[in-house]
């Protein structure tokens, strides 16, 4: 459900950007009563939907070639991050909560369980940031030959 919600939010943000960039153009051409109406092509909109950006432009800077080795490296890093997250859960998180479920409830046990889960939680957040925002988006940017990679600005 969280993944579907995140994808829907991304699509709403992209649709808002597309409308915000194109409606003033259409309104100004109607106001001027000019014969030419500049409407983006479907290919431009589809490229925008898959490009790792939230700002619509008719044209983006493009690289001349795709570096498939770079793409494979980024996907391997995503896979490595998933395995590392699994290892963190199996070794650090699951034993904590398995032991706490067998004991009677007390406040001391709850506080210890929470504090023992802080470090694995932070590691998981770093892995999600690295795997999705760095590796996944860079891999798709490379496959789309998207040259403007200022993800962190």
What is the domain range of residue 18? 1-59
* pLDDT at residue 37 greater than cutoff 90: no
Residues 136 and 123 in one domain: yes
Please tell me whether residue 15 adopts helix, strand or coil conformation: helix
Crossing angle of helices 42-50 and 2-32, in 10° steps, is 150
Residues 73 and 136 in one domain: yes
Residues 27 and 90 in one domain: no
Q: Residue 147, CB half-sphere, CA atoms under 13 Å: how many?
A: 7
pLDDT band at 9 (very low <50, low <70, confident <90, very high): very high
Its pTM stands at: 0.74
Number of domains in the chain: 2
Whole-angstrom Cα distance, residue 56 to residue 37? 18
pLDDT at site 116? 86
pLDDT in tens, 58-83: 888 888 999 999 999 999 999 999 99
Residues 111 and 142 in one domain: yes
SS3 sequence of 40-85: CCHHHHHHHHHCCCCCCCCCCCECCCCCHHHHHHHHHHHHHHHHHH
pLDDT at site 86? 93
Residues 34 and 79 in one domain: no
Whole-angstrom Cα distance, residue 71 to residue 142? 7
Whole-angstrom Cα distance, residue 27 to residue 22? 9
pLDDT in tens, 11-34: 999 999 999 998 888 888 777 776
CB 140 within 8 A of CB 52: yes
Please tell me whether residue 119 adopts helix, strand or coil conformation: helix
Residues 41 and 109 in one domain: no
**Sequence-separated (6 or more) residues with CB below 8 Å from residue 83:** none
Instruction: Return phi, psi of residue 9, to 5°.
Output: -65, -40
Residues 148 and 97 in one domain: yes
pLDDT in tens, 80-123: 999 999 999 899 888 877 766 677 778 887 788 888 889 999 99
């Amino acid at each position: 459900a969280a993944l579907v919600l995140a994808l829907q939010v991304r699509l709403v943000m992209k649709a808002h950007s597309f409308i915000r960039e194109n409606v003033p153009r259409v309104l100004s051409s109607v106001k001027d009563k000019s014969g030419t109406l500049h409407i983006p092509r479907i290919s431009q909109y589809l490229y925008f939907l898959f490009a790792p950006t939230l700002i619509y432009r008719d044209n983006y800077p493009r690289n001349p070639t795709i570096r498939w080795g770079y793409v494979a490296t980024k996907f391997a890093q995503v896979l490595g991050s998933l395995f590392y997250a699994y290892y963190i859960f199996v070794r650090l998180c699951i034993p904590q909560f398995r032991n706490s479920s067998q004991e009677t409830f007390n406040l001391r046990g709850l506080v210890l369980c929470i504090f023992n889960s802080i470090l694995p939680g932070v590691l998981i957040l770093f892995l999600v940031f690295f795997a999705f925002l760095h590796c996944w988006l860079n891999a798709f940017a490379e496959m789309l030959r998207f040259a403007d990679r200022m993800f962190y600005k």
